[in-house]
Structure formats: structure tokens, C-alpha cells
Amino acid sequence: MITTSFTEENYLKAIFHLSPQEAEAVSTNAIAEALQTKAASVTDMLKKLADKNLINYVKYQGVTLTDIGQQAAINIIRKHRLWEVFLVDKLNFKWDEVHELAEDLEHINSTKLIDSLEVFLGFPKVDPHGDPIPDKNGVLKEPALVPVSKMNINQTGIISGVKEHSTLFLNYLEKAGLVLGKQVKVQDLIEFDGSVIIALDKQLLTISRDVAKNILIAV
Amino acid sequence: MITTSFTEENYLKAIFHLSPQEAEAVSTNAIAEALQTKAASVTDMLKKLADKNLINYVKYQGVTLTDIGQQAAINIIRKHRLWEVFLVDKLNFKWDEVHELAEDLEHINSTKLIDSLEVFLGFPKVDPHGDPIPDKNGVLKEPALVPVSKMNINQTGIISGVKEHSTLFLNYLEKAGLVLGKQVKVQDLIEFDGSVIIALDKQLLTISRDVAKNILIAV
DNA sequence: TAATTTTTTTAGGCTAACCTAAAAAAATTA
DNA sequence: TAATTTTTTTAGGTTAGCCTAAAAAAATTA
Ligand SMILES: [Mn+2]
Ligand SMILES: [Mn+2]
Ligand SMILES: [Mn+2]
Ligand SMILES: [Mn+2]
């Protein structure tokens, strides 16, 4: 078993999230932006992760995760999402209050802890933001969700996830009543600025393109 | 609010545990031994903690915690003990399996998290080893317990705490039936080697001086 | 294709937390 | 009190993770 530091784990997770379809190489700059650090620092770390066989790295050509690196990343995501469920279901946190804390808790290293937590929580399938929770074997099933921005007029669906996890965004959704489980129908699409008019609880509501891109629907 | 690193927090906690009665100065070597590090490293850190006003440090004369340092230490202990209760009560860990994990969890920084956890656990007064849990205002009441080694012949009491937290020791106690809540009576004291013969569940049991020193009794 | 811009890497430095070896101070023993 | 031992500090060095500035490579535009 390779051990990974707090920082290395954050890099692995960032690379995972930045390569939606596997084998798609992630750039140094993209990682730097995701982790709010500098490109030179990223290059340093990429060398280290490559030495540990966690990523495939060829100078100037971006990186992909190795199988080991991907399993490590998925494991961190598993911990992150289970802790989020714990905070919301057991400690009564709101869904917009858990991300930062889970960002730290995900680095606590104990298989027994996380597997026990999963049992205690009743094997949840998704986290408070609708994201799927990998099982203990590292199997992660991404549900087929589409952003509101990709829906057609008159199409109906259930809000089942969000792409953005910031407090600011989630708080806005909460206030607008756009929470997981709600049914929405696309009433109209404004071509000019990409905003969308949706029907929610029989009320009409206009959301910006930015918001529409970050709400995920099961259609 | 001063922020403290993982390492600084471990130093503060070590200093706290090493000065049973406050104002009793703790030596560089004692800290080095407690933290399994070298005296030179301790000196480095003492300078840093003194700069942050967390300890009173005079060269060659050991250290004491300042009021701020003591509050910081107690807060870490509060977190440590609440996490231990969580692991045992909610996740079904055994009392000999929680210490190392709590050693990491205690550094997660969120007042809301720890206060919510305390509510969720029902405001426990003591951790799985009988150690008292400081309240959110940092008030810590040490119960008056005596080690078995200080009891008199024929004296009776309830096992209410342990001084040593290693898996090895706790596991031994568990197997011997020496768990929290049990009544014990001192049957005989062997002066030669300090071992003690106790009555437990109407059976006689001999324990070494080392064991006797580490079991705490409410008499 | 040549020039320019953007991306990435290298070079050299910083800080936190550690280390060993040597020096200095304090405590103990003779 | 003097000599010796123990404790503590200082000096100088390492590694992880970060930084800025400069150099090199790749991509884009003319
Ligand atoms: Mn993280
Ligand atoms: Mn989430
Ligand atoms: Mn700790
Ligand atoms: Mn404990």
C-alpha cells in the first residue's frame, strides 16, 4: 500500500474530476486553477506522483491517472461523500455547509472507519448533492443526468444533482426551492442569453444559463 | 483567533498532559519522549509556540502553557474524546481501537462540527476510557480517581478510568474482565514486586504493579 | 513558414518540521 | 569546589510543498 499525503490526495482528486472521460489528459494549468496554486508547483507535484506510479505523465502533454491513481482518487471521493451524508443526515448540517468540512475529513485514513460509517448511514447511494457514492471496492456508477441547459422545451424531469458545490450556489437553490427531488418542466429557452424559464411547483421561475448548467436532471 | 498546525496542536496537548498540576514546568526531554521526537526539534517548536503566546518559555527552564495555550489544549482534548465516544457508541469500535484514529480526528477544525457531534452523542460526560470530556466553554472536571496501586487492603471501588491508552493494555484489560464499571476489592498487596491481588466477580486475580498503576478506581 | 502568444518546465528560494553533531548550561557526584 | 554527567540549545542540513522569474516548448496567428 502506497501512502499519500494530504496534498497528493487533493491533486489526485482534482485530476480525476478534471478528466470526465478517462484517458483524456489533464493540463498543468487546469490543475493549477482547480487547486488555486501555480503551474510551477503543479509540475513539481506531477513529477512526484509519476514517481509513485499514480499518474502517467509525459512532459508538456498533460496527465492521466494510472489504475492505482484512479482507485486512490475514487477512495477519497468515497470518503468525502460519506462524510457529507453523515453531516447532513446525522448532525443536521445543511447541504450548503458540508463541502469544506468534507474536504478535510476525506483525508482521514482508516478503512475500518469509513466502512463502519457506511454501515451506520445505511449504505447511502448518493451524497447530499446527488453525487453517487463509490462502494468499498471502488466501483462508482455515474447516473445519467442532464443539465437543465441541455433540456428541450416541455421536457420534464427530477432535480437529482448539482455540478457546483459552493455555499453561495447551493444557498441560492435552497431559497429558490430548487432542491433535490423536485420536479421541473422547461417552459421556455431564451436564446439570447441562455437563460431558462422553468415550471416548479406550478410557478414559473427564470434561471440564468450559469444556474441552468449546474442543475442536473433525471429525465 | 490564532490558527495552530497539526504539529503545534500535538505539542500543546503533550505539554498539557505532562503538567498534571498547572504551573508545573515541563522539560524539553519529556516532550521529546512523549512525541517520539528529538530534543533539538522540541526546542525549535518551543520557540515558535512562545512567539505565538501559547507557552511560557524560558531557556533551560522548561515550559508551561499560557491561558490561551491551555484553552487550545483542552479544546483538542475535547475533540479527541468526543470522537472516541462517537467511534465506540455509534460505529461499534472497541475501546482499544479508537485512540490512534482520534489522534487524527482531533485536528479537524470546526466548532459547529464538534458541538453538533456532542449534541448527537447526547452530551457524554466521559470518553470510553473514563476520561472526562471538557464542555464547549473549555471547562474540564477531573474526577478524583485513585490507581489500584494506591488502594489499601480490603478497600473496594469501581473501575472508572485508565491511565494508559495503548491497544495492548486495553486489550489485556478486556480479556481479564477489567472493564469500566466493574467493582473490585483489594485482597492483598505483594510488597516484593508491587503486584496486587484483587477480587473481581468473586474470583481472585493477580495484576502486576504496572497494571495496578494504570487502572483508576472511584473509591 | 515566420512571428507571436500561450503553456509548461526549470532554476533558485522560502518556510515548517524534522534530523545529527557540537557547544553551552545545569545538575550531580566526587 | 572541581570534575563529570545530563540536559538543553545552537549550528547546519534535509524534505515537502509552495513561490517568482526566466527559459523552453507548443500552439496559434499572420
Ligand atoms: Mn481535500
Ligand atoms: Mn458532495
Ligand atoms: Mn493528534
Ligand atoms: Mn480516551
pLDDT bracket for residue A143 (50, 70, 90): confident
User: What is the B67 CA–ligand 3 centroid distance (Å)?
Assistant: 20
User: Is A75 a member of any domain?
Assistant: no
Residue A20 has pLDDT above 80, yes or no: no
Residue A189's Cα: distance from chain center in Å?
26
For residue B133, is it within any domain? no
Q: Evaluate whether residue B184 is within a structural domain.
A: yes
Whether B196 and B206 have beta carbons less than 8 Å apart is answered as yes
Q: Is the pLDDT of residue B22 over 70?
A: no
What DSSP element (H or E) covers A174? helix A167-176
* Domain, as residue range, for A18: 6-65
CA of A63: nearest nucleotide by C1' is: C8
CATH number for the domain that contains residue B201: 2.30.30.90
**Nearest nucleic acid nucleotide to B43, CA to C1' distance:** D9
Residues with Cβ within 8 Å of B11's Cβ and at least 6 positions away in sequence, in order, are B31, B35, B42, B45, B49
Domain-embedded: residue A89:
no
Nearest CA distance, A34 vs chain B (angstrom): 23
User: Which run of H or E residues covers position B219?
Assistant: none
Quote the pLDDT of residue B67: 96
* All residues at 6 or more sequence positions from A197 whose CB lies less than 8 Å from its CB, including other chains: A186, A187, A188, A189, A190, A204, A205, A206
Which is more confidently placed, B166 or B30? B30
**Amino acid B165 CA to nucleotide D8 C1' distance, rounded Å:** 30
Q: Does residue A190 lie within any of the structural domains?
A: yes
User: What is the three-class DSSP state of B157?
Assistant: strand
Last residue of a domain, one of A31, A48, A65: A65
The answer to whether the Cβ–Cβ distance between A108 and B87 falls below 8 Å is no
Does residue A182 come out as left (phi exceeding 0), alpha (psi in the -120 to 50 range) or beta?
beta
Euclidean distance between CA atoms B55 and B15, whole angstroms: 9
Distance B34 CA to D17 C1' (A): 27
- Ligand nearest to the CA of residue B97, numbered in listed order: 4
Domain boundary among B65, B99, B116: B65
CA distance B178 to chain A (A): 26
Chain A residues in contact with B110 (beta carbon < 8 A): 101
pLDDT at A22 over 90: no
Return d(Cα B215, Cα A60) in angstroms, integer. Answer: 62
CA of B36 vs C1' of D6, distance in Å? 19
- Which bases of strand D sit closer than 7 A to a protein CB? 7-12, 16-22, 25-26
> Has residue B113 been placed in a domain?
no
Beta bridge partner(s), residue A199: A185, A204
Does residue A30 lie within any of the structural domains? yes
CA distance A19 to B195: 64
Nearest CA in chain A to B109: A101
Q: Which residue has the cell 466553554?
A: B137
From chain B, the residues in CB contact with A3 under 8 A are none
Report how far ligand 3's centroid is from the alpha carbon of B99 (Å).
Answer: 10
| pTM of the shown model | 0.93
Q: Which three cell numbers stand for residue A154?
A: 416541455
**How close, in Å, is residue A181 to chain B by CA atoms?**
26
CATH number of the domain that A15 lies in? 1.10.10.10
Residue A53: left if φ>0, alpha if ψ -120 to 50, beta else—which one?
A: left
Asked if pLDDT for residue B20 goes beyond 70, the answer is yes
Q: What is the CA angle B160-B161-B162, rounded to 5?
A: 150
The minimum CA-CA distance between A104 and chain B, rounded to whole Å, is 7
Residue A84's closest chain B neighbor by CA?
B113
Q: Could you say which of A92, A104, A120 has the minimum Cβ distance to residue B90?
A: A120
Contacts of B104 in chain A (CB under 8 A): 108-109
Strands in chain A per DSSP E = 55-57, 63-65, 146-147, 156-162, 183-189, 196-200, 203-207, 215-218
Task: Using the predicted structure, report yes or no on whether residue B193 has a pLDDT greater than 70.
Answer: yes
Which positions in strand C are less than 7 Å from the protein's CB atoms?
7-12, 16-22, 25-26
Mean pLDDT of the B81-98 span = 97
Phi, psi angles (nearest 5°) of residue B20: -55, -55
CB B32 within 8 A of CB B42: yes
| Angle at alpha carbon of residue A164, lines to A160 and A166, rounded to 5° | 120
pLDDT one-digit tens code per residue, A145-196: 999 999 999 999 999 999 998 899 999 999 999 999 999 999 999 988 989 9
Total domains, chain B: 2
Does residue B207 carry a pLDDT above 80?
yes
A105 with B108: Cβ contact below 8 A: yes
Distance A4 CA to ligand 4 centre (A): 27
Say whether pLDDT at B23 is over 80. no
**What is the 8-class DSSP label of residue A162?**
E
pLDDT digits (tens, 9 = 90+) for B168-188: 999 999 999 999 999 999 999
Name the grid cell of A42.
503543479
Last residue of a domain, one of A65, A93, A115: A65
Q: What is the pLDDT of residues A201-215, one digit of tens each?
A: 989 999 999 999 999
Q: What is the mean pLDDT of residues B193-212?
A: 94
Is residue A119 within 8 A of residue A113, CB to CB? The reply is no
Given a contact cutoff of 8 angstroms between Cβ atoms, the answer to whether A214 and A162 are in contact is yes
CB B162 within 8 A of CB B173: yes
Torsion of CA B150, B153, B155, B157, to 10 degrees: 60
**Distance, CA of B112 to CA of B167 (rounded, Å):** 30
B195 inside domain = yes
Torsion angle, alpha carbons of A134, A136, A139, A144, to 10? -30
